Amino acid sequence: MEEEPQTPKPLTTTVTKPPSFHHRLINLDTTWSLHIHTICQPIPRSILKSLEISGDGRFWFPIPIALFLSPLASKSDHLRSILIGLFVGSLFDLVLVGLIKFLVRRPRPVYNKGMHLTVAVDHWSFPSGHSSRVFFIAAFLYLSSTSIGEVLIQFRSSGNEFVNQWIDFEGKIVELFVLIVFLWSAATSISRVFLGRHFVLDVTAGACLGVLEALFVFYLL
């Protein structure tokens, strides 16, 4: 009995889909973040850790509260308004960043070391809470430059000649102060990548978020 000839099976080719834009972006972000972290190893870690601590929310939340309750705030409506804005914005930032991190759940870099010794409150990386916080502070103070100048004018009658001499140039002093705060916010944000705490995209998104928060708090609250 002759066997029936078998019909050859059709050849199947596996088509590999190109990686999506999202995956390409994440891979590029991961690669460059590791490269930046590696080449910046010679920077003294103590400097980077100091910047990290300076942008910690547990450090910044008590500041506007303490100043608001101090006798200094009772002398200036403008100062009270600035302090309330800083506190409300910081609280808003904490909630918003926490919500985004919970939804996105991007793990921190695998080379992140020693974070539990300082400010570790979660294991998620996107967006950077430090970056959003410090850029909110910088942007809000920039938007409040006029009010800061008014505060200096109100304290001009302190009777201290040295203080009054500086307050006579309140415009330049405010500009210098805001510039220093922006430089600090940029350095603190960049240090997150140097330390291996975050990826570049985390820091960029956090900085943009902080500026948007400042605009929201300043104009809508």
Q: Which residues participate in catalysis according to the annotation?
A: 130, 198
Q: How far apart are CA 176 and CA 184, in angstroms?
A: 12
Q: How far apart are CA 32 and CA 38, in angstroms?
A: 10
Q: How far apart are CA 173 and CA 215, in angstroms?
A: 23
User: Using the 8-state DSSP alphabet, how is residue 97 labeled?
Assistant: H
* Residue 25, C-beta contacts closer than 8 angstroms, at least 6 positions apart: 201
User: Using the 8-state DSSP alphabet, how is residue 221 labeled?
Assistant: -
Q: How far apart are CA 190 and CA 173, in angstroms?
A: 26
Handedness of CA 166, 168, 172, 177 (dihedral sign): positive
* Residue 141, C-beta contacts closer than 8 angstroms, at least 6 positions apart: 82, 148, 177, 178, 181
* Type of residue numbered 54: S
Q: Tell me the backbone φ, ψ of residue 124, rounded to 5 degrees.
A: -105, 150
